[in-house]
Structure 1
Amino acid sequence: MFPRFTLRYSRLPERFYERFDPVPVREPRLVAFNRPLAEALGFDLADFDREQATQWFSGNAVPPGAEPLAQAYAGHQFGGFVPRLGDGRAVLLGEVTDREGRLRDIQLKGAGRTPFSRGGDGRSPLGPVLREYVVSEAMHALGIPSTRALAAVTTGEHVVRGVPEPGAILTRVAASHIRVGTFQYFAARGDIDGVRELADHVIGRHYPELETLQDGERYLGLLEAVQARQAALIAKWMGVGFIHGVMNTDNTSVSGETIDFGPCAFMEQYDPKMVFSSIDEGGRYAYSNQPWIAQWNLARLAEILLPLIDADSERAVGVATELLERFPDRYEAEWLAVMRAKLGLEREETGDRTLVESLLDAMHKGRADFTLAFRRLADAADSRQGDAAFGELFERPEVAEGWLASWRERLAQEPLPEGERTRRMRLANPAFIPRNHRVQQALTAAMNEDDYGPFETLLDVVTRPFDDQPGREAYQLPAAPSERVFRTFCGT
C-alpha cells in the first residue's frame, strides 16, 4: 500500500540525524485518514488494509523500505538559542515521490522518546494531534503552504501534561522538515562542511534553479529564495488572521511551508497585538509582529551562510545585509497583493496601502470580526444591499460607512464587470476558518467522550472554506462570550 521510499535525507552524513525506530504503543486505533492526500502521494488504496495501516501509522510496524530517523536541529526559542533540539518526539520514515513528481517527507509525530527528547516522553496528547490535523488541512484548503495531515492514531495509552490525557500519533507530510534551526545545529558546532552539505541538499530539493550558479551566488540565491517564500507565506497568514504562536527558528521551514501547529489560533475580533499562546508571555509572536520575526529568523540564516557567500567576511556581510534590508519591501508587496484581492482590487494604486490600513483601523476600533468583515465586504462589492450586514459588525457602524465610501471611490477605477468582483472576492475571503472555540469543542468531544463526530464535521467545513454551506452558517460565527478561547497550548 505504501508508495516507494527514496530516502535522500538518510543518505546524508550520520551526524545529520540519529537512527531511531518508533516506540510501539499498546492499542493503536486509526481515528482519521486523509484519503485524498494518500491518493496524491501514490498510496494504493484499492488494496487498503485498515489494520496494517494502523500498525504503520502508530509506529508499531515500519513500512517496507523506510529507514526511520530523528533529525538533528537547533534553534532560537523566544530569542534564546538552544544548540541541540532535534526531533524529540518525531520520526522521519523517509521521502516518497507523489503523483506530481514532488518529493514529500512522511513523518510520525508523537512516536516515542528519541535521542533528542531531552528527558521528555516523546509522546503527544490527542488534543494537539487533532488540532494540527484540522488546522493544517484548513491552511492547505485556504491556499496557504503548509505541512499536511495524513493520519491520526490513538495509542491506547495516556500521556501526562499536568493531568493524564489520551495519547495519539500524527502522520505528517511536508515538502521537507528542514528548518533554519537545522542550519543552526551545524553552525553551532563550527561544522562549515555540514552547513555546505545541508545547503546543497536544500538547493537540490527545493531550489534546483540555483544549481547552475557559482558557489557564492548560489548560497546568496538560497538566502534570497528562502526570504521570498517566507515573505509570501507570512503575507498569506496575515490575510486570514492566522497567528502561529511559536515562530522560533526551529519552526521556520526553508521550504516556505507553515510547520508546527502547537498554540496556533485564528483571530476573531481584529486586534494587531493579539496573542493566544500560553507560553508567549511577552507577545513576541503577536499577530502584527509576525513579519518582523520572520525577518529576524532570516537574519539568523544569513549569519550561517556568510562563509559560503564570500570568503571575505566584510563583503559577505554587505551583500547579505543588503538582501535582508529588502525584506520589508518584498513583504509589503506580497501583503498588498493579498489585501488587494480581499478588497476586490486588480490595479495597483498609490493609495491602496492607506485604504487597507484605514479599514483595519476601523475594524480595530469597531471590534469587528476579521473573517466575517471581509466575507461580508465581498457580498457588498457589487451592491450596496450588503452594506448594512457589513456595518453591523462594527460597534460604531458610522465608522464602517465612512470607509465604504472611500472603497467605492477606489472600485470605480477598476474595470471588472458586475458580478466578477464579488466572485473573485469570495475566493479570497473565506466564509469558514477553524474558529478556536469550534476546534476546542471538537477536541473536547474526542478526548473526553471518544466522540469524533464534531472533529469530522469541523474538518469537512474548514476544508471547503470558500463555499456556501447551507445548514452550517453557525460555523461562520465568532464565539459567544462564554465560548471564547483566550489561551492555546503547546502539545510538547
Structure 2
Amino acid sequence: MVKIASLGKAIGDPVAAANFPETVLRLRNDRWAAAVGLDGLSGETWLRHFGRFEPLPDNLPQPLALRYHGHQFRVYNPEIGDGRGFLFAQLLDGADRLLDLATKGSGTTPYSRRGDGRLTLKGGVREILATEMLEALGVETSKSFSLIETGEALHRGDEPSPTRSAVLVRLGHGHIRIGTFQRAAFERNGDFIRELTSYCLDNFYGAPETDDPGAELMERATQACARQAAHMVVAGFVHGVLNSDNINVTGESFDYGPWRFTPQWQPGFTAAYFDEGGLYSFGRQAEAIHWNLAQLAGCLTLIGESTPLKAAFDRFADHYRDAFVEQFLWRLGFAPRGLEQDMPLIEAAQQALTQSGAGLDRFFFDWMGRPGLDDPAYAGADFAGFRERAAAYEPARGRNHAYWWGGSPCSMHIEEVEAIWARIAEDDDWAPLYGKVDAIRAMSAAYRG
C-alpha cells in the first residue's frame, strides 16, 4: 500500500528519528485518526508510533526525508529538502484518498544543514491553531494529527530561549511539492519527472490515461492551487512563506511558520517580519502561487510541449475567480445568483471592508444569511453599495446553530495566539488551547449547517 515506494530512491533518503528524552502527549486528533483507521490505538501505542516512530504495520519500514529544491522569496535554492521532518507513513481515508503522515521536529536529516532538526513547542501549538481554523473556514489544509512534547531545551534567535520542544505529525494529501519537480529538472532527470507526474495523476487526481500527462497535471495543479489561493484569501489568512517548496501540487496548504489572520481587509498585511517587500502579503498570495506554478510548467517542459502547459497555466485567473466567488458566498451564506451579479456584490464587499476598516470575521458573522441588512453598524455610506446588492440575495442556509447567536465571531488573531501560548509557557495550562479548538470546531459545524 506504500505508494511512494514506486518512485524509488530518487524521492528521498531513509532516516532515523531523534531519540527524545520524553514523550508527553499534548494533542491527539481522534477525529482524523478515525478517518484513517488509527482511532483504536492505545495511548502507549500512539506514543510509540508518533513519539518514537516505530513503523506502522505494513507501512514504510523506515522514514523518508524527501528531496526537493525551491525558490525561496524567488531566489533558487538547491540545498534544501526535509531538514527537520520526514514522511512516516501513507494511509487511505474512507474516500480512498491517499494521505501522508509526515513530521516536523523529528530530528536531523541529510538536509538539516546547520539546524538541529527540532521544533519548538510554541511552533507546534501555533500549527494546531492554524490548521484547525483553516479547516473550519473551508481551506484545504494539512491536519495537525499529533503533538508530543519531547523534553529538550531549544535555543532560538527569534523567541525567548531556552524553550520547550515538540514533535508534530501532520496528516496531508500528499507531500509532492513544486520543489520536488524543480530538483528533478535541475538534475535534468526527465525520466523521474515523468514518474512523478504519473504518481501525482494516479494517486491524487485519479486522472484517466492521457497522451500528455504533463499538461494534464498542469491543468489539475493549476485549478487546485488557484482554489487554495482563493480560499486562503477569503479566510483572511496570510501564509507568510509561499515559496515553491511550500506549494503542494494537490493544492493543499501546509507548513505553517509565520502565519497570521488579517483583522481587516488589508491587501498589504504581512505575516513574516522578514517579508520586508510584502511579496507574500495578504493581497499578493494569488500572484505568489501563480508565479510558483510557472516554475512547475517550466519543469514539465522536459516531458511535453510548452503550448498546452501555458494554456493550462493561463487558466489560473479564471479558476481563482470562480473559487473566490464560490467561497465568498459560502462565508456570507448567500445563494449564488450567477457570475454577472455575484462579482459586483463581492467587489462592493471588498470596497466596503477596505474603506470602513470593519473587522473581517465580524463582517462575515453579521451578514451570514443576510441579517446584516438591518444592522445599524452597516448603515453608513461605506456599505451602501454592498447593502443594496445584498438585498437581492436569498440565504443559502439558516442561522440555526448556537454559534450564530453567541454574540461574537470566532477569530484567530496574533494577540490570542500569544495569550494561549503564554498560559502554557508560564503555568503549563493547556485549557485555553483545548477550549479554542472546541470553539473553532463549533464554528465549523455552524458553517456547515
Could you state the TM-score of these two structures normalised by the residue count of structure 1? Answer: 0.84
Give how far 1:277 is off: 1.2
Give matches, 1:60-139, under 5 Å.
61-65=54-58, 66=60, 67-139=62-134
Specify the alignment match of 1:145 in structure 2: 140
Report Cα offsets for 1:56-98 as digits up to 9, x if no partner: 2123644444321100011101000011311100021121222
Contact 1:106–1:174 (8 Å) recurs in 2: yes
Whether the 8 Å contact between 2:240 and 2:258 is mirrored in structure 1 is yes
> 2:86, 2:339 → 1: CA distance?
49
Paired position in structure 2 for 1:188: 186
User: In the alignment, does 2:278 pair up with 1:283?
Assistant: yes
> Does structure 1 conserve the Cα–Cα contact (< 8 Å) formed by 2:103 and 2:169?
yes
TM-score (norm 2): 0.91
Deviation of residue 135 (structure 1)? 1.5
Alignment match, 1:173: 171
Give the whole-Å Cα distance in 2 for the aligned partners of 1:426 and 1:115: 50
**What are structure 1's unaligned runs of at least 5 residues?**
1-5, 310-315, 392-396, 470-492
Q: Does 1:353 align with 2:346?
A: no
Match in the other structure for 1:213: 210
Secondary structure at the residue paired with 1:273? Answer: coil
Distance 1:197 1:467, change over 3 A: closer
Question: C-alpha separation between the residues in 1 aligned to 2:313 and 2:79?
Answer: 26
For residues 15-35 of structure 1, give each alpha carbon's deviation from its aligned partner in whole angstroms, at most 9, with x where no partner exists.
Answer: 221110101100111111111
Aligned with residue 457 of structure 1, among 425, 435, 442: 435
Q: Matched residues in 2 for 1:383 and 1:276: separation?
A: 30
How do 1:50-449 and structure 2 match up within 5 A?
A: 50-59=43-52, 61-65=54-58, 66=60, 67-162=62-157, 163-210=161-208, 212-214=209-211, 217-309=212-304, 316-343=305-332, 344-378=334-368, 381=370, 384-385=373-374, 387-391=375-379, 397-401=380-384, 403-408=386-391, 411=392, 414=393, 416=394, 422-423=398-399, 431-449=409-427
* Distance change (3 Å), C-alpha of 1:334 and 1:73: same
Cα distance in 2, alignment partners of residues 60 and 25 from structure 1: 11
Answering whether residue 2 of structure 2 is matched by residue 7 of structure 1, we say yes
Shift of residue 349, structure 1, vs aligned partner: 4.7
Contact map agreement 1:28 1:154 (CA 8 A) in 2: yes
Q: Which amino acid aligns with 1:337?
A: E
Native 8 Å contact 1:74 1:85 kept in 2: yes
Q: SS at the partner of 1:151?
A: strand
Task: Give 1:24's aligned residue.
Answer: 19
Q: Is the 8 A contact 2:134 2:235 kept in 1?
A: no
* Cα-to-partner distance string for 1:398-457 (whole Å, 9 max, x where unaligned): 32245313432xx1xx5x4xx6555499999x9323232222211222233221111111
Q: What RMSD, in angstroms, separates the aligned Cα atoms of the two structures?
A: 2.4
Percent identity, aligned pairs only, is: 29
Change (3 A) 1:466 1:22: closer
Task: State the alpha-carbon separation in 2 of the partners of residues 426 and 291 from structure 1.
Answer: 34
CA distance in 1, matches of 2:198, 2:339: 41
Are residues 1:42 and 2:37 paired? yes
Q: Is the 8 A contact 1:154 1:168 kept in 2?
A: yes
Amino acid at match of 2:342: D
CA contact (8 A) 2:372 2:378 kept: no
Structure 1 runs of 4+ off > 6 angstroms? Answer: 424-428
C-alpha distance in 2 between matches for 1:69 and 1:459: 31
> In structure 1, how many angstroms separate the alpha carbons of the residues matched to 2:121 and 2:371?
45
1:235-286 C-alpha deviation (Å, 9 max, x unpaired) = 1111111111111100100111111111111111221111121221110001
Query: Using the alignment, how far apart are the partners of 2:245 and 2:221 within structure 1?
Result: 14
- Once the two structures are TM-superposed, the CA of residue 376 in structure 1 deviates from its matched residue by 0.7
Alpha-carbon contact 2:67-2:180 (below 8 Å) kept: yes
Matched letter for residue 294 of structure 1? I
Q: CA deviation at 1:464?
A: 2.2
**8 A contact 1:438–1:458 mirrored in 2:** no
**Separation (CA, whole Å) in 2 of partners of 1:302 and 1:18:** 26
Instruction: Check 1:271–1:146 CA distance in 2 against 1; reply closer, same or farther (3 A cut).
Output: same
Distance in 1, Cα, partners of 2:182 & 2:77: 9
Give the conservation status (yes or no) of the 8 Å contact 2:403–2:442.
no
Distance in 1 (CA, whole Å) between partners of 2:435 and 2:243 is 32
Aligned residue identity for 1:363: L
Measured against aligned partners, the alpha-carbon deviations of 1:441-485 in whole angstroms (never above 9, x if no partner) come to: 11222233221111111111112225579xxxxxxxxxxxxxxxx
Give, in whole Å, the separation in 2 of the partners of 1:333 and 1:425.
28
Equivalent position amino acid for 2:210 in 1: L
Q: Give the unaligned 5+ runs of structure 2.
A: none
User: Counterparts of 1:191 and 1:384 in 2: how far apart (Å)?
Assistant: 58
Q: Distance in 2 between matches of 1:160 and 1:63?
A: 32
* C-alpha separation in 1, matches of 2:10 and 2:421: 38
Q: Contact 1:439/1:458 (CA < 8 Å) preserved in 2?
A: no
Once the two structures are overlaid, the 10-residue window that deviates more, 174-183 or 231-240, is: 231-240
